[in-house]
Amino acid sequence: MPEYKTVGAEELDGNPLAAHLPLPPETDSDAFMALATRPEFEIRDRDLPNSIRRIRINRLLRFYVPAMAVHRRALISICTSVHDGYIQRNPMTPLGQRILQGYGVDLPSSPPITMISGLSGMGKSTLINRIQAYLGGQVWQHTSFRGAPFTETQILWLRRNVPEHCTVGTLCSTFGDYTDRVLGLKLYAGIFAKLNGGGRNTYLSEIRKIITSHHVGFLVLDEFQNLSLMGVGAKKIIAMLVNLRDELGLPIVVVGTYRALKLLRSDLSSARRLVEGGYFDLERPLSADDENWQSLCEAAWEFQWVRKPVAYSEAIGNAFYEVSQGVTGIMLSAFATAQLAAIEDGSECVTEELIQKVFDERMKPLHPAVRVLQSGNPMLMDKFDDLYKNFWPTTAPDGVEGANDDVAASLHAASGDDQAAAPTEKRPGRSRKSKDADAAEGGAKPGKPVLSDEQIRKLVLSDSMRDLISVLDGR
């Protein structure tokens, strides 16, 4: 049962849907503390048997540091939007009752649609997990409010992945199935099944009923870049989201890779609507010198289950950057894999040399993706997400769990049976200056054609940075 609070704001204190929710963080520091999570760890864990320490290394899944300001801004913005949406839909007011009963209303204002974007592995889904955790439980059963009967079920959020090649009907149906699971019912799946072949408006009518009947606080659509596969169908999905926002006062958060931005560039109207609530770009650091990167690596370095831990140094952060190119999920995977290797070979010590070695020998599926990032070539960067997901598949979030989905599969693979793979040739490094120059020049020489499929194939299969450079130079 919710515990209603009094904060001195009438629009919140008199609203059963909002009075039990935490307010948005007061300061940037408060937002940092709200998002950050650390694995359970004690110094004496290092004396445990190898088998137990191997298991505990997986606790790195629960490590999350919102090192960038954009993380904290996203939390504050989304929390504010949820409260604002509930203010207009307060069921204790005539306007809220009209919305609840399904009457058309003219809302004083529309809540925002927010977009979170970034490369695969940068923690987009984990950020949403942490925001959801801050707001509290997903389902609330109300019985009374301030002495008045109020027997309503409130769903704080509904979150689904956008399927490939989906339609308005299939997307609405996935929300129906998910709502049944959240509530422990067998209701909406059957309703949507009977609508098979029905028109778009019929599906929209049913999804509206779910949102209004259960006082849904906000929708989250992950893997939003899949809309790029849908052609004209993408515009229908975007139009549906805007309609839900405008008609029901429902905040919406869309999460996707940079491929989603390409979709929006072709439709400025859609782009404007999808960033009204803010665009939060989880940019990867462009060098190991990035202050946020070094802070992140230093914070993670605390969690060493090896028996001979060494103090953190900038060289450690540089080594992590070399093997991950600033992608958080890859960095955590390399750290976990290095600890497993140190336990296995008896050295019980993680060094920058070991980090590079385990990447070369035990994380081969990620080499093509990392080489693309090292190239700095915009034409190749478009391939990163496919390479990352195809060669190193990750676990898709199910809307409730709080695990770090970007590194779950990585840590699992790191402890698998294929760890004794033969070492690869160490890639000759390129100076940061030359990488930055490539990026500034667009990553390709003027007049060079777009890479052919054969060139891309050679890139993916290449074993060294020297091979990569030759592909980019067209030799």
Q: May I ask the CATH class of domain 10-281?
A: alpha beta
Confirm if 315 and 361 have CB atoms less than 8 A apart. no
Instruction: Average the pLDDT over each of 50-64, 193-207, 306-320, 435-449 and give the range with the smallest value.
Output: 435-449
Q: Which residues contact 73 (CB under 8 A, 6 or more apart)?
A: 31, 278, 280
Match 């779950």 to its residue by tokens.
408
Report the relative pairing of strands 144-145 and 148-149 from DSSP bridges.
antiparallel
Indicate the burial class of 265 (C-beta count within 10 angstroms; 0-12, 13-18, 19 or more). Answer: exposed
List Cα–Cα distances, 256 to 71, 233, 392, 438, in angstroms. Answer: 15, 17, 18, 26
What is d(CA 408, CA 452) in angstroms, rounded to the nearest whole number?
34
What digits encode the pLDDT tens for the residues 22-80? 999 999 999 999 999 999 999 999 999 999 999 999 999 889 999 999 999 999 999 99
For the chain, the domains span: 10-281, 291-472
Shortest CA distance to 62 belongs to which of 41, 46, 38? Answer: 38
What digits encode the pLDDT tens for the residues 136-193? 999 999 999 999 999 999 999 999 988 877 778 888 888 888 999 999 988 888 888 8
What is d(CA 134, CA 137) in angstroms, rounded to the nearest whole number?
9
Predicted TM-score (pTM) above 0.85: no
What digits encode the pLDDT tens for the residues 88-132? 899 999 988 888 887 777 777 777 888 999 998 999 999 999 999
Match 């006062």 to its residue by tokens.
249
Average pLDDT over residues 414-420: 39
Shortest CA distance to 429 belongs to which of 474, 383, 472, 465? Answer: 465
